[in-house]
Amino acid sequence: MSFQPPKGTDDIIAPESQAWRKTLRLWDDWSERYGYPLVNLPIFEATELFERGVGETSEVVIKQMYTFADQGGRSVSLRPEGTASVVRAYLNSGHQGVWKGAYSGPFFRYERPQAGRRRQFWQVGVEYIATPSPLADVEVIELGYRFITATELPDVALLINSIGDPVCRPRYVAALEEYLREHESDLSAESVSLIDRNPLRVLDSKVDGPKLTEAPRTLDYLCEECAQHFASVKEGLESLGVPYKEDSSLVRGLDYYTRTAFEYVATGLDAAQNAVGGGGRYDGLAEAIGGRPTPGVGFALGIDRIMLALGEPQRPHLDAYLVSETGPEDALRVASALRDEGIRVDFDVDGRSVKAQFRTASRLQVPVVLVWKGEGQPVDVQTEGERAMLPLREVSTWFSSR
């Protein structure tokens, strides 16, 4: 019998995992630079949190949750996204005033699997809670943009829109509904069924969205406050040199958004999964889950998609392989000394021949082979086109001078 990973999930192992590790380290670095401490939250939550937080008309809640009754008979769901949990944690913490958090981990949606669309996928994200300031939107959007740029992902576009708030959105939704009713015969059955429940979702439809270029635009219906907020966000992005495009069809798939909505799109990927990240403001979410009114803004990035867009990993996971001519016990000790100096090194514990150890080194594609010849003897440092005989204590200096 042989088991395969469940449909839509992946075993991420070396060498691919090394590129993941590099990207996740970069994320820790960038999110910390912007002042977002780590939040580690449950992988499953009460189903109702997502129903009320993410929204009962969102596709994620209707079709994509992994929901089950636990042994105590409670309905729980594997987290399909992070924002509802982060806001719940903020409310539970009793903290007053602004609060920031960064997360990184697996999320789950029952999707039709394809490249870049997985049932278990990895998101990194931040939430900036308890401030209505448009500068928070700007900071958050900038962080996502700078991080993506730092991963060296080519051709990323930032799309932004404002979808209004409870003051101005009803007027927009009414106009959109009327337009969609007039054009019902051009729409798929699924979109028609959404007109009453959540007409904004129709703009998001892969099938019908592109047909709706003449539909009313949210930006034409914004109230004074929302228009001002959006103008400040754009001004802030311009002052930081973050390039963006306005996209009036961008409405996002989750129900909690108010005002700012944005997406990072990798133009080199297939349109079905080229959104490498997205986010926005969610000023009504805290109340929707039973908390006090608390504004917030954030984003999440899909690491699986970023890795897909980055292509094959370039960097080996080791700096060197240690070949021992005097057996594995010596290699254990020498490797320990090198690791203590920060060198990423591995060796053979099975006492295989020197020839076999060299074969392993070449399979691992290490840039340097260190040959241990015995106590009191210099280490033979071999790289492509270069060779040096160095005392063990000088090996780490040699690495740092490269």
Query: Quick one: which of 53, 101, 236, 279 contacts ligand HAM (CB under 6 A)?
Result: 279
Query: Quick one: which of 111, 225, 341, 394 contacts ligand HAM (CB under 6 A)?
Result: 111
Query: Quick one: which of 55, 101, 199, 277 contacts ligand HAM (CB under 6 A)?
Result: 277
- In whole angstroms, give the CA distance from residue 305 to residue 312: 13
- Helices 16-33, 134-150: axis angle to 10 degrees equals 150
Question: Hey, which bits of 52-119 come out as E strands?
Answer: 67-69, 75-78, 99-108
- In whole angstroms, give the CA distance from residue 278 to residue 256: 13
- In whole angstroms, give the CA distance from residue 286 to residue 95: 13
Query: Quick one: which of 45, 51, 59, 81 contacts ligand HAM (CB under 6 A)?
Result: 81
- In whole angstroms, give the CA distance from residue 281 to residue 303: 21
To ligand HAM, the closest distance from the beta carbon of 234 in angstroms equals 19
Phi, psi of 355 (to 5 degrees): -60, -45
Query: Quick one: which of 21, 117, 146, 211 contacts ligand HAM (CB under 6 A)?
Result: 117
To ligand HAM, the closest distance from the beta carbon of 198 in angstroms equals 15
Give the rounded distance of the alpha carbon of 10 from its chain centre: 16
Name residue 162's beta-bridge partners. 260
Query: Quick one: which of 305, 318, 331, 395 contacts ligand HAM (CB under 6 A)?
Result: 305
By beta-carbon proximity to ligand HAM, the closer residue of 123 and 357 is 123
Q: Does 121 engage in binding with ligand HAM (CB under 6 A)? A: yes
Start-end of H helices in 265-327: 285-288, 303-310
3-class secondary-structure state, position 370: strand
To ligand HAM, the closest distance from the beta carbon of 306 in angstroms equals 8
Give the footprint of ligand HAM on residues 122-161 (CB under 6 A): 123, 125, 127
Which of 233, 208, 207, 206 has its CA nearest to residue 219? Answer: 233
Q: Does 211 engage in binding with ligand HAM (CB under 6 A)? A: no
By beta-carbon proximity to ligand HAM, the closer residue of 137 and 208 is 137
To ligand HAM, the closest distance from the beta carbon of 168 in angstroms equals 20
Q: Does 253 engage in binding with ligand HAM (CB under 6 A)? A: yes
Residues of this chain that bind ligand HAM (CB under 6 A): 81-83, 109, 111, 116-118, 121, 123, 125, 127, 253-254, 275-280, 282, 298-300, 302, 304-305
